[in-house]
Amino acid sequence: MAPLTIGRVHYDGGGDWYTNPSSLPNLLRAIRERTTLETSERERVVRLTDPALPDVPYLYMTGHGNVRWSSDDVRALRAHLEAGGFLHADDCYGMDQSIRREIARAFPDRPFAEVPLAHPIYHNVYDFPRGIPKIHEHDGLPAQGFGIFLGGRLALYYSYQSDLGDGWEDPEVHHDPAPIRELALRMGVNLFVYAVSGGA
């Protein structure tokens, strides 16, 4: 069986989908070391219309700028998530307006809801009784986790005002204290484990 990996979503619109290059390899290593899951060393770059999308249990997208999905992207994402897929959109400060717009195109019938603090995503491996941790400060706003639920399953998770991906980067990139980086990695492990378990 091939090792599990993370699919970094390559999107159009001008946003830097490729930012935080050391983040996903570091998260994949943490998953290997802290769980029984076998993961690859590097993520896979994918587009939403990639026919191999079902082979990637955890889709991840981030950036500081604009996100623009084609009509085919929108249809493919909705079909993928309805079939059991999972997408984590991680606002790296600057993509909030566009990601909300694009997700509303994909799910006009399902507005964002804040993920309850009792949800398994905050408790399956590590315990986060207060929800998603705050990694980087920008506007003085609290970190929040929003979601799209399909049939009771959290299919899309949007981390807002947290900057998890920055916390996964190599220590010398942002010079975050070790406890902050640890919180980010722990939350990432929880997200990945939730995704590969099919929302259990």
- Ordered structural domains, the chain, with CATH: 6-196 (3.40.50.12140)
Mean pLDDT taken over the chain: 95
Low-confidence ranges of the chain (pLDDT < 70): 199-200
pLDDT at 139: 79
| pTM confidence score | 0.96
pLDDT at 37: 97
Q: What six digits make up the tokens of 165?
A: 């991906």
pLDDT at 199: 67
pLDDT at 63: 95
Handedness of CA 108, 70, 100, 186 (dihedral sign): positive
DSSP, residue by residue, 67-95: -B--HHHHHHHHHHHHTT--EEEEE-SS-
The whole-angstrom separation of Cα 70 and Cα 87 is: 17
Does residue 46 contact residue 10 with C-beta atoms inside 8 Å? yes
Alpha helices (runs of H) in the chain, residue ranges in sequence order: 23-34, 71-82, 96-106, 164-168, 171-174, 178-196
Give the closest residue to 136 by CA, choosing from 162, 160, 158.
162
